[in-house]
Amino acid sequence: MWKNDYNRWKEFTELDADLASKLEELTSDEQSLEDAFYKNLEFGTGGMRGKLGPGTNRMNIYTVRKAAEGLATYVNDQGLSNRGVAIAYDSRYMSKEFAVETARVLGHHGIPSYVFTSLRPTPELSFAVRHLNAAAGVVVTASHNPPEYNGFKAYNEDGGQLPPEQAEIMIDFVNKVENELKVEAADQLELEEKGLLRWIDDEVDAAYLEALKGVTVQPDIKKDLSLVFTPLHGTARDLVEKGLQQSGFTSIHIVEEQAKPDPEFTTVASPNPEEHQAFEMAIEQGKAIDADLLMATDPDADRLGIAVPNENGEYVVLTGNQTGALLLDYILGQSEQLPKNGLLIKTIVTSEFGRVIANAYGIRSLDTLTGFKFIGEKIREYEQTGEHTFMFGYEESYGYLVKDFARDKDAVQAAVLAAEVGAYWKNQGKTLLHALDELYEKHGYFLEDLQSMKLEGKSGTEQIKAIMDDFRNADIKEAGGKKVIAIEDYATTIRKHVQDGTEEEIDLPTSNVVKFILEDDCWFCLRPSGTEPKIKFYYGVKSGSRKESEELLAAVKATVNERLHALI
């Protein structure tokens, strides 16, 4: 079946020359050729992401045009075409080209586009949609994926990623585009002349930086903190540096080797602040100047990682759960007055640490499915109803949102607040590690971990399905010596209580996730990635000490891995 699509591409006389050349190279590699054509690159709830190259299962100008055609139909269907679409892009190969192709397709349908002239962070795109009162937004990025990847993320008129109901409508429109090679795109110069392609920059930047001032909790505290920041060859340098400066920080040191946008990310194995190797240059520079805090953002600047020195002068990279707990406790503990209807929003695979901290301040917490689009959706819902006031949103994978002028995770906001939190604790004669220890002593020692298994291609997809099916149907009674007390299957939205067999509905959208709730606030969870060829295993435990939690975590992981190794 896939050979029909291959032949369609092969016979297309107007095929882009570069793609035609690469397609010819694939003809000698049957497996690679099949992977490029065995399916259409899936447009899911988070948009689409894939390897660059020719084929229906690759990111190229034709699959991007197909996505843009679906978006154009979606915008027209919503009756919002006159409001236009904001478009941003990162430092990856073909990012600006894909942004312009998107604008050309939209322009063919008479829909204006507002396109940044140079790369910008993803959260600024979210802000731009709201600031420009646009009908939708697009950011061309593959976040922290390897250099051979790129992606297309769609945003709604609220500046959030499309939630399930809206996403299903757009997915349907994209899937109805029968031939990606035949999607029409208008001429760029003609669109510029007609005002259907408008280049944007400074005005949106200035408005974003003005909004960023609201992230500061205590404007007048002493900001005597030495910072090292690396944007990991991505989009964050300008806004993070300006945001820190306007907040009062003066000792800001940039890792210059990683400050220049680079689609190859040549100084790191992976441009992901979750990976400790991404901090190597920042750590080297930090030691040279005795820095108080190191910060790193991923290429599209929606994730932030931080590292702080321990008593031996070695830098410790904090987890997303730890950073989230510190930011949350600072916001709630240092704000002048907390609203009675304040709300913390986190995901189902994020630590329970945040919920315990919020409870201590009388703030309610809410869990959503993994993905910041669900947090953004809830912010919008409660903004309209007035039922809750948003206080903070975060997920374990280094994503945080402090103020809702953006509706996606925002590393620029998080960087400015993290610097303030570091300065606050330095003024107390303490580091963030000291502050974290105080939270553990008060609330219990929470410890989490994440394992990922990369399984690419058609065979990998089949293996991931087999793993999920096995755990979903297994009769697992305990893990790491802790009894299983409930199993949450988000595909069926049913929570089953193991002891008495009773069931209840989970009030969340369906998702291919299974979570095992263990006794004593422990748990583990399986979730295939929605954007990468991976299956992820999340773990969370709690005890009275670090040593006990480490032992408990290892035991729970061992139980899961024994079963997993028997399957693979």
**Catalytic sites, residue numbers:** 143
How would you classify the pairing of strands 399-401 and 389-395?
A: antiparallel
Side-chain half-sphere exposure of 139, counting CA atoms within 13 A: 29
Question: Mutual orientation of helices 237-247 and 411-427 as an angle, nearest 10°?
Answer: 40
- The β-bridge relationship of strands 522-528 and 514-518 is antiparallel
d(CA 307, CA 495): 37
Residue 402 to residues 204, 288, 322, 397: CA-CA distances in angstroms?
Answer: 19, 31, 16, 16
Phi-psi region of 79 (alpha: psi -120 to 50; beta: other; left: phi over 0): left
Q: What CA–CA distance (Å, rounded) separates 355 from 332? A: 12
For residue 455, the SS3 value is coil
What's the DSSP call for residue 464? Answer: H
CA distance readout (Å), 259 to 179, 255, 307, 440: 40, 6, 18, 35
- Which DSSP string corresponds to 420-432? HHHHHHHHTT--H
Q: How far apart are CA 211 and CA 42, in angstroms?
A: 35
